[in-house]
Amino acid sequence: LDGVALDRIQAGQAGGLQDIPGRSSRTGPRADGVESAHRKVGVVMVNPQLSKAGAGRRPLVVGNWKMNGTRASSVQLLSALRSAEPFDSDVSVCVPFPYLGEVALTLQGSRITWGAQDCSHLEPGAHTGDVAAVMLADFGCRHVIVGHSERRVHHAESDQRVADKAKTALSHGLTPIVCVGETLEERQAMQTEAVVKRQLSAVIHTLGHCVSQIVVAYEPIWAIGTGLTATPEQAQAVHAVLRAQLAAASTQAVDMRLLYGGSVTAANASALFAQSDIDGGLVGGASLKANEFSAICRAASAAVHESLGKSKT
Ligand code: PGA
């Protein structure tokens, strides 16, 4: 954020997408033709038939490919996903950096958006091996995952570093997907709530009420890649804690999307997405299989139809 925007955030005067430099400046058309739907400044582009609980909570399913695939297999996977379109939920794929150009081309004309799995907290400069948020924006990225536990653990990323990455991403018009989650030991020691609140509070402190522009993903570390999924009730309990914490920071918390991640599959997605504060998923292993991932995307939209049906009766 530039000095002016930061001052406004600190003074509590910021009030929407237009407060983040870069959001409103990205006016050029994007290859997939859905630029305006994603980026109309200050306008919530949702079909009211398909939004959950709050006014703007259209479900979101994000594939986290991690360090997998080849150029050829990426194109194959996306082509298969495209043939399963349309989805009633928002769908995005966060792919390895080197594939971004090809992914952008392959998704031309699709409503599926794309993003990356990390970015630097710094602006371009002498930072060997790092990738700047502005570069991701240049590739048409919509999302960037920050604070995934694999980066917190293997690259020693602190809560504050993750928050700074989220801020830099927002300032370049990207939507950061901020991951939080506890280890098994922390859960067993009844520390889950304290851990996720600590992780999220660094982000809230850094972004002020612009925190409403991010997506949060609750990913219990013990569930990632292990085949052990949090039960829908366990996940919902943490999501409710996170939403309450966000609500204390922003009046728009009710419209924020909170994703669950950790061994989401086609078999368990519906039960997870049926929870009132779970608005979709961050999907690792299952996002590498087109059939499985499309089934998860369909489960997300079905959960919304179901909850709307219930609320009518
Ligand atoms: P998983 O990974 O679905 O393979 O458990 C989720 C993630 O790490 O984002």
Q: Each residue of 91-108: pLDDT tens digit? A: 999 999 999 999 999 999
Rounded to the nearest angstrom, the distance between the alpha carbon of 223 and the centre of ligand 1 is: 8
How would residue 301 be classed by pLDDT, with cut points 50, 70 and 90? Answer: confident
The residues carrying an active-site annotation are: 148, 219
Rounded to the nearest angstrom, the distance between the alpha carbon of 94 and the centre of ligand 1 is: 12
Higher pLDDT, 11 or 91: 91
At 94, give phi and psi (nearest 5°): -105, 110
Of all residues in the chain, the percent with pLDDT exceeding 70 is: 79
Condensed to tens digits (0 to 9), the pLDDT of residues 53-105 reads 554 699 999 999 999 999 999 999 999 999 999 999 999 999 999 999 999 99
Q: Mutate which of 60, 118, 179, 224 to test ligand 1's pocket (most atoms within 8 Å of Cβ)?
A: 224
Condensed to tens digits (0 to 9), the pLDDT of residues 255-282 reads 999 999 999 999 999 999 999 999 999 9
| Ligand 1 atom nearest residue 287's Cα | 3
pLDDT at 181 over 60: yes
Rounded to the nearest angstrom, the distance between the alpha carbon of 312 and the centre of ligand 1 is: 34
Rounded to the nearest angstrom, the distance between the alpha carbon of 135 and the centre of ligand 1 is: 25
| Ligand 1 atom nearest residue 263's Cα | 5
Our answer on whether the CB atom of 266 is closer than 6 Å to any ligand 1 atom is no
Our answer on whether the CB atom of 283 is closer than 6 Å to any ligand 1 atom is yes
Q: Give the predicted TM-score (pTM) of the model.
A: 0.84
Q: Mutate which of 148, 150, 179, 219 to test ligand 1's pocket (most atoms within 8 Å of Cβ)?
A: 219
213 in Cβ contact with 250 (< 8 Å): no
| Ligand 1 atom nearest residue 145's Cα | 9
How would residue 209 be classed by pLDDT, with cut points 50, 70 and 90? Answer: confident
Rounded to the nearest angstrom, the distance between the alpha carbon of 289 and the centre of ligand 1 is: 13
How would residue 178 be classed by pLDDT, with cut points 50, 70 and 90? Answer: very high
Q: Whose CA is nearest to atom 3 of ligand 1?
A: 284
Condensed to tens digits (0 to 9), the pLDDT of residues 219-255 reads 999 999 999 999 999 999 999 999 999 999 999 999 9
Our answer on whether the CB atom of 224 is closer than 6 Å to any ligand 1 atom is yes
Mean pLDDT of all residues in 287-309:
87
pLDDT at 305 over 70: no
